[in-house]
Amino acid sequence: MTEVVPADRGLRRVIGDGDAVVDGEVDGLGPDELLALYRNLVLLRTYDERSVVYHRQGRIGTYAIFWNHEAMQAGSVFALEERDWIFPAYRESAIGLLRGMPVSTVLSWWRGHPSGWWDPREFNLASICVPIATQIPHAVGFAWGSALKGEDRVALALFGDGATSEGAFHEGATFAGVMKAPVVLFCNNNQWAISTPLSAQTAAPTLADKAIGYGIPGVRVDGGDVLAVYEATREAVERARAGDGPTFIEAVTYRAAPHATADDPSIYIDPERVEEERENECVGRFERYLRRAGVLTDDKVEEIRAEALELMRAGIAEAEAEPPADPGLVFEHAYANPPPSLAEDLVELRRILGS
Ligand SMILES: Cc1ncc(C[n+]2csc(CCOP(=O)(O)OP(=O)(O)O)c2C)c(N)n1
Ligand SMILES: [Mg+2]
C-alpha cells in the first residue's frame, strides 16, 4: 500500500529545539550508539571543512561541498549493516570514511590521483557517480541481483532533488518497484540543482509524491535531524530485508554552501534563508540534543574533534606523499583502439609536465 506524507504535514523529526518542541528518542540507540553517530558526523564535517581549505591552498581540485548534509549521510549509513552496499553521488564523496576508508583515498580522488580509486567490494561502496542519477539503476540492479542470489543485502542509493528529473531515476525507481528490489532510494532534497531551484525542477508538491507513480512508499524527513534520518532509513531497510521492496525517502534540507568550490551562489540564492539554515545546521543540532540528554561533555567534544582533525592531517600528508601518476593513464582506459592523434597528445602532455 502506497503511503505518502501529504505536503501540508510536518516533516518527520526526533530532535527537539530545546524549548517548546521536546526531544524524542529512537529505540535501540543507547549512549554508545549516539556517540558513535556523533563521531561520524564530526568526521564528515571535519573532512568537508578541511577540504575547502585544501582546495583554497591548491592541494585538491574542484570540490563538491557537503556542509550540512552530514546528518543525511551519517544517519542513513548508520541504519545499514556492513554487508549492505552504498551507491553515492559526488555530494557523498567522503561517505567511505564511515566504512573505514582511509582519508587519503578520498582526498586522492579529489586530487585526480589513481590512489583515490578503490575496489568497491572492499568497502561495499560503489564508485562515486558524477553523471546525475546514474547510480540509481546501478543500486537497483545490484539489489535485485543480490536478492536473486539469495544474499541478504540492501542497497542504499543517495542522490539529489535534481536527480529525480532524470531518466535514470525513473528507470531505476520503476524497476525497483516492479521487481521489489531491496533498495532504499534516498533523496537529499537541498532544494537546488546548482542554480536551478526546486520550483523549476518539478511541479509535484513534494518529491515523496513521486513515489506513488512507482507504487512504493514515500516518506519525508527533516534532513537536518540525524535521528529522524536514521529511523526512517532503518524502517526502509527493514522493509527491504523483509522482501517488501524499495522505499523512497525525501530528506528535506536547504543547501547552505555553494554547489561546489567553482560556484558563486550569491547571484541566485536567498542569503537570509542560507543564514537561517547555517544557524540550525545538523551537527550543532545533534550536539545540543546530546548535551541535553547528558551524553556529551565539553571534553568529549574536544576529543572527538581533535581526533578527526588529526585524521585529516595525516590523510592529506599521505595523499601528498603519493608519487605523481603516470599521465599515460588519462588515455589508457578510454579506447580499446586509440586513434593515433592521442599518442601525439600524450607526447605533448609529457613534454608540458616534464615527465
Ligand atoms: C547527467 C548529468 N547532467 C548534468 C550534469 C551537471 N550537473 C552537475 S551537478 C548538477 C546538479 C544536480 O543537482 P541535485 O541532483 O539536486 O544534486 P546536488 O548537487 O544538489 O547534491 C548538474 C545538473 C551532470 N553532472 N550529469
Ligand atoms: Mg540538490
| Residues 90-104: tens digit of each pLDDT | 999 999 999 999 999
Q: Quick check: CB of 88 below 6 Å from ligand 1? A: no
Q: Quick check: CB of 6 below 6 Å from ligand 1? A: no
Atom of ligand 1 nearest to the CA of 194: 11
The three-class DSSP label of residue 261 is coil
pLDDT band at 8 (very low <50, low <70, confident <90, very high): very low
Whether the CB-CB separation of 177 and 246 falls below 8 Å is answered with yes
Cα atoms in the 13 Å half-sphere on the side-chain side of 310: 6
Pocket test for ligand 1, best of 194, 250, 261 (most atoms within 8 A of CB): 194
C-alpha cell at position 275:
543564514
Please compute the mean of the pLDDT values over residues 269-296 and round it to a whole number. Answer: 96
Whether the CB-CB separation of 186 and 156 falls below 8 Å is answered with yes
Name the residue with cell 601528498.
320
54 CA distance to ligand 2 middle (Å): 24
Q: Closest Cα to residue 114, out of 348, 347, 322, 342? A: 322
Q: Which range, of 207-221, 282-296, 340-354, averages the lowest pLDDT? A: 340-354
Q: Quick check: CB of 162 below 6 Å from ligand 1? A: yes
Whether the CB-CB separation of 110 and 93 falls below 8 Å is answered with yes
State how far the Cα of 335 lies from the Cα of 307, in Å rounded to an integer: 44
The residues annotated with a catalytic role in the active site are 255, 259, 268
pLDDT band at 84 (very low <50, low <70, confident <90, very high): very high
Please compute the mean of the pLDDT values over residues 171-195 and round it to a whole number. Answer: 98
Query: 111, exposed or middle or buried, with CB in 10 Å at 0-12, 13-18, 19+?
Result: buried
Q: Quick check: CB of 251 below 6 Å from ligand 1? A: no
291 CA distance to ligand 2 middle (Å): 31
Whether the CB-CB separation of 8 and 267 falls below 8 Å is answered with no
Whether the CB-CB separation of 330 and 355 falls below 8 Å is answered with no
Query: 63, exposed or middle or buried, with CB in 10 Å at 0-12, 13-18, 19+?
Result: buried
The three-class DSSP label of residue 166 is coil
187 CA distance to ligand 2 middle (Å): 9
Atom of ligand 1 nearest to the CA of 89: 21
